[in-house]
Structure 1
């Protein structure tokens, strides 16, 4: 590729001035809601509406102290929600910054990489294969530049671009111009930016794109249904308890009777609304994505985090994923020709400025044998046959001294098909190819044709009649420890499918080296073409190696697996992987060697291109989903004793003033529950058996029968312990303040023990407590809970909360009862965990 002479591109100073004039290279973007709008959204939550109504009633009753305390705690809860939302926004912003596309440009007369949003008119972009073009511009120079413009034109056929071509034709789209949103599929070029952002052709449709409605994920839908159901139950319970309290207070005046009945009902309603669900969903997914980013896995779409733990099939490319993608020449096999002639033709069939690892390996091998680029590329390059997926070969036409030479290389099948060989010779060559491929080597064939004049040059490479020169075998060794990672996949119930453009024998050789299950069957792309979709769905159930595939084949394989109910993860790094990455449930692109378009199509980007990182990501995806379920279990469990105590009190004809939990105490409990949900449970470590079990069934509801049964069982025991103690003290001591303090203290202690016990579904708390308390945040959160309890009980604040200080024996008794109300479940885990459906 020939560069323009003189100054190329802008200086940094010029770029800064132009950005002030034209702004950022951004399409129409959705702005984040303002602080005021976020505050309104929080206040519209059912729980906060109830709290504000309750505070208002206290002021109306002439009890400004209780009303003020209620408002203080409402403000604290709102602050926690807004702070958590701010942290989530910061996390998402950081993730967005990590995933910002970059482009190579000329700045200060040298090549550098900048974020695409910093492009300005006048910049000179450098395009390579796989680049997603971020701005409109005129082509300055090019080399075999081919661009897929289907995102704009709707035409699947790629367009060849040529600099300085006369573009005054009937077509709207210019051949000497490149457009934002299109992708380079072949070649390279220099483009001077003319339009950015909304002024580009792609930007003109940006407004429509930004208004596209994103469907909620299954997890979001399930959470919404849970909240909706609980709200209906809360409304019904509110009416029932208000009615029962009204009937029990016949001796009170009408207004007192009405207000006390309303307070009893609203207390129960507050206890039944699990407003923590949306917080759990948002925080767990965003923080999970942030943790994955620190492990070199960049999540582009948050909802994909919940899908990671359900992956049942992992489709991987052989080259670069299972192997090191470091091609070296292992062996050359000249066919009745001199080695020198073989290598000269082989080198002449390569690009002089190449990025292809196999061509780099060829040129390095030639260099070692005394054939420098000056020797190989001596002469005039007349024309070339470009490589395509259909032909699977390429060729260069050279004018060397008094003759024309066609130097061609490609897949052995393709080169042999246009070579002048008899059947016996072809059989001999096929045997050699099979023996090389069986060793896991990748094989190319080399041929040449000598011509006397230009008129004899065939129009297409398929029309050539080559002299077959020989074979060259490359080795791309498996990645270190890949065998161990493959076995780790199988332990986790994840099936591995190899999809490669190589021939099946080479693929099988690599599969044998890494210990991959093959089932003895290999399917080629040609065989896929002969199958209907229903037939392919049957085939993918038992074939684990697909060879000689093109992009359409990869996409059909992924779609067939999905049609069978599999959750499919697909890895890829090239432009040809983009359709399959987009079709998969989880598209995984390589961050280092991956093309821009593959990264754009993917849900997840591996920043270190490491296969083991994929499994670490799946493992963390399972941990995130496990912890979401643990949070749901915790929320339901902790609300049961709160709700039942409010429901049972009117039935026992307990005065509303003597309830175990008044509205202000429920607010206090929420201040404990919210951080526990959004901070402590999100940080729980993974289960020891997390990668030794099958992937989860995505059709299983978030709140399964087993989980609901477990929540009810644990909640009932906590209710019996707290309300039972409260009621006994209330009856025998006739002191509602002491009774309330004992009951609430038991609930606070039980809350801490509940987190410890439910931190693992199988392991005993004695085994997990050490890892829990190694986490500084968990230690601090639990410590703050205990400190809050002590401050409320042993400072004048107990008067505001209508509590009394407990003696040391009473405090230890409440601690003991709280522990018993939760730790009984350790016995269930120890003896019956494998028999009861508790997960």
Structure 2
């Protein structure tokens, strides 16, 4: 086999890195000093589940601090400062001053009820945030009774043993038990040194931390370092830059000295642009309402010489125009929307993503664990003797042991990669016990996609074992001519069946034998892994296609593997595969042209993934990108929506991502887009409902004064309608299933406003119709010489009954079932409206309070019919397919 390649000259590789660490001597290919036996990797046993549960109860959750919550007193004070509460208190003072003590106390009670509802809604929001923060906790790999399991970082206890790999942050304080030397960044904990070397502490520390005597008091007494932190200790928040191994947790929660790390808040609670806009609108309307309040009071007092009536009318108008509950209701609706996304296993880290996920036009996704099952198994071996197919549950034939041993020598002792674990799963039963010492490991680099480990035999002699992408191993071996062609053909044959292919090579050096410079690796063979496409992916891919969402497969795999997996998944492969090397040669303008057609990208490096995202954004797309390693961070940050694949993503990825995929399934991602479209649609309709009701009430409070008839609405009426409209907004619109045709339409434009011109027109039109119908009923009754109390009763009851009708018509899709399971909140508020109407009609005290009088059954029926017409006409138009 030839071992020379001019094309590889000048390329840095692990053989040049390792040369300085080698003893003198070179072995022949026939020497087998280190090819048998193979290293066996074992880890600490860890705690038993029962002991871990006991310690969790004893030490508490591994959390630096509880989520920030406002104390009840502060919540009450904040609610009292709202314009609505102040207007209610002003109206109560005015009523009381004029001798209407009953109405004054009623308004004071309403102010108290408003404040109570505001506090309850804030508490609801906080509870939802707590639940979402629990979901946001990253998973850590823990050993319990010798078995590796995944747990939320918040469930760690002192004595737990975790695997610590590159790109991960320490979730608590701990001691490094066994590993290569680990390089960490401790700057998060205030250390000036960015790179710090850490070394294993050994078995003694493991026995101490696992003992029953390790109590909170023991932690308080022993886990204090008067000077520099020992080189065996890793504090919470330390970022692993290089190396991997096992760490035993020593201190969790507030007892930990480290102040950073992944158990800090991962959700971004800063207000979204929509929430900021809602608060600004509410403040402006409150100012406008106060101005109108003063204007109406002055005009009525001067021209009608009735300052009391003018004051009441002015306050009623201000209350109608001041939707101070809008920001809180919107905040609560967004919180419920985030919880609904979490039910489809998509965690929203910030409110902005809840608003924009439904506008996604392009999904850039990886392969392993997202499109595929992530159930990786070593399937076949290829060496000089031919191909050996490995059957599940069947022992590996002896002729495959040599290649397996070399693959194992190139596998980290504490593997986190699924391919490495698949190698261990086979070699655990195929190979003899270990008899070699790991000297050093050389991780993959951007310029060389291969992993190399240096082993030393007990009697001397060294072995460098490498595995990685076939083209990378070919460079290490300097393959050329027929040897390179044969290797490339074999790799392409495996890849064409959707298998992931790695090549294996080695360098063997005997004891006390001089090693000439430029010693090459020897190519040993190929190993292939299977990872079936998930059964639900083709259906989800079809749904994304019907929704107008383009799906791009962006992977580091072999082009043939990427093409086959894309074909099985339902991704269009007619435009071929674009590789990272080809992207590197394209100009930005040419790349924009190519990404419009190509759907499969292979052998992609992080900078090329960023280039793809940038090209898509420059082409006007709304891009969502998945990522599971630190190299994906730039692409995630550049996309409108970064998505961390949670079970594999390190803390750095989760922090920059807007969404966290909790179950790593592509179908969940599509369900998240579906839910995002539903959320946007329901938020938009809820705002239209609020604007319609508030606008109609403002007109009913102001227009009768211009017409010279007695006021229709007083502050007590406006307050009651507002108290009913708030729960309707939250209960009805949050539970609507949304437009059933939402995933059959193209995505909305990213620049499309939530409350744009179409929504303003709709709310104005519905509000004007509602205002016209109720004014006609009221003014007509007054003109027909009906008593004022009777006319007001008809119009006010019609307004109350309009609320549930308008809420249903605004929220429900054409053909929606009136008695569906999701209508529980709607019927609860409807029942409350019916009870209030009955109380107003039957209780004399209620009639006096609201300045109402008795009406006939015919008038009651007329009010109900007009309520159905005024509130339901918009729904009927949609039912028949009109705008």
TM-score, normalised via structure 1 length: 0.85
Preserved contact between residue 276 and residue 635 of structure 1 (Cα < 8 Å): no
SS in 1 for 2:375: coil
Shift of 1:740: 0.3
Specify every segment of 5 or more residues in structure 1 that has no aligned partner in the other structure, as ranges. Answer: 166-170
Contact 2:613/2:635, CA 8 A, preserved across alignment: yes
Name which of structure 1's ranges 667-676 and 594-603 shifts more when overlaid on structure 2: 594-603
Pick the aligned partner of 1:725 from 769, 777, 797: 777
Q: Match for residue 349 of structure 1? A: 410
Alignment of 1:290-309 (within 5 A): 290-309=339-358
Deviation, 1:772, is 4.6
Q: What's 1:481 paired with?
A: 536
Match of 1:233 in 2: 288
State yes or no: 1:430 paired with 2:488: yes
Does residue 1:590 correspond to 2:645, yes or no?
yes
Q: Distance in 2 between matches of 1:486 and 1:698?
A: 22
- 1:188 is aligned to 245
- Match of residue 555 from structure 2: 500
Deviation at 1:59?
A: 0.7
* Greater relative contact order (CA < 8 Å, ≥ 6 in sequence): 2
Identify the residue that residue 22 of structure 2 maps to in structure 1: none
Secondary structure of residue in 2 paired with 1:445? strand
Equivalent residue in structure 1 for 2:472, among 414, 417, 431 = 414
Q: 1:362 to 1:10 in 2, by over 3 A?
A: closer
For the residues of structure 2 that align with 1:148 and 1:524, how far apart are their CA atoms? 34
CA change 1:546–1:444 in 2 (3 A) is: same
Q: CA deviation at 1:414?
A: 1.1
Deviation at 1:637, TM superposition (A): 0.9
- Summarize the Cα distance change of 1:427–1:309 in structure 2 as closer, same or farther, 3 Å threshold: same
Distance in 1 (CA, whole Å) between partners of 2:881 and 2:148 is 65
In 2, Cα distance between equivalents of 1:72 and 1:772: 35
Q: Structure 2 vs 1, CA of residues 457 and 140 (structure 1 numbering), >3 Å: closer, same or farther? A: farther
Deviation readout 1:761-788 (Å, 9 max, x if unpaired): xx43xx1133656532222221111221
- SS of the residue aligned with 2:816? helix
Matches within 5 A, 1:532-571: 540-571=595-626
Equivalence for 1:168: none
Aligned counterpart, 1:694? 746
Say what the alpha-carbon RMSD is for the aligned residues. 3.9
Distance in 2 between the 1:742 and 1:587 partners?
54
Question: Residue 314 of structure 1 is aligned with which of 363, 373, 396?
Answer: 363
Rounded Cα–Cα distance in structure 1 between residues aligned with 2:475 and 2:534: 34
Q: Aligned partners of 2:165 and 2:668: how far apart in 1?
A: 27
1:647 and 2:690 correspond: no
Q: Which residue of 1 aligns with 2:105?
A: 68
User: Where does 1:526-675 land on structure 2 (aligned, <5 Å)?
Assistant: 526-529=581-584, 540-654=595-709, 658-675=710-727
Match of 2:380, SS? strand
Separation of aligned partners in 2, 1:723 and 1:756: 23
Pair 374,700 (structure 1): closer, same or farther in 2 beyond 3 Å: same
Give the whole-Å Cα distance in 2 for the aligned partners of 1:120 and 1:431.
51
How far apart are the structure 1 equivalents of 2:57 and 2:370? 43
2:330 to 281, 284, 305: 281
Q: Distance in 1 between matches of 2:537 and 2:683?
A: 31
Q: Tell me what 1:794 maps to.
A: 842
Distance verdict in 2 for CA 1:518–1:146, change over 3 Å: farther
Find the aligned partners of 1:729 and 1:457 in 2 and give their Cα distance. 109
2:810 maps to 1:758: yes
Deviation at 1:322, TM superposition (A): 0.8
CA contact (8 A) 1:91 1:286 kept: yes
Secondary structure of 2:110's aligned partner:
helix
Say whether the 8 Å CA contact 1:140–1:190 is kept in structure 2: yes
Q: Secondary structure at the match of 1:409?
A: strand
**2:498: which partner in 1?**
440
| Alignment map for 1:140-539 (pairs within 5 Å) | 140-143=177-180, 145-147=182-184, 149=186, 161-163=198-200, 176-184=232-240, 186-191=243-248, 193=250, 197=254, 200=257, 202=259, 216-249=271-304, 252=305, 257-335=306-384, 341-351=402-412, 354-365=415-426, 372-374=430-432, 377-379=434-436, 381=438, 383-398=440-455, 404-419=462-477, 421-453=479-511, 464-518=519-573, 520-529=575-584
Tell me, yes or no, if the aligned pair for 1:759 and 1:768 is still in contact at 8 Å: no
Shift of the alpha carbon at 1:597? 4.8
**1:346 to partner: Cα distance:** 3.6
Map of 1:93 onto structure 2: 130
Give the superposition deviation at 1:638: 1.2
Contact 2:56 2:156 in 1 (8 A): no
Contact (CA 8 Å) 1:183, 1:597: kept in 2 or not? no
Matches of 1:525 and 1:147, distance apart in 2: 30
Q: Report the CA distance shift for 1:235/1:436 in structure 2 as closer, same or farther (over 3 A).
A: same
Structure 1 residues 722 and 70: alpha-carbon distance in aligned structure 2, compared to 1, 3 A threshold = same
| Residues 1:402 and 1:644: Cα distance change in structure 2 (over 3 Å) | closer
Q: Distance in 2 between matches of 1:16 and 1:769?
A: 47
Alpha-carbon distance between aligned partners in 2 of 1:329 and 1:3, rounded to the nearest angstrom = 22
Q: CA shift at 1:495, angstroms? A: 1.9
2:74 equivalent in structure 1:
37
Distance of aligned partners of 1:144 and 1:315 in 2 relative to their CA distance in 1, 3 Å threshold: farther
Deviation of the 1:489 alpha carbon: 1.0
The CA deviation at 1:671 is 1.7
Separation (CA, whole Å) in 2 of partners of 1:789 and 1:5 = 68
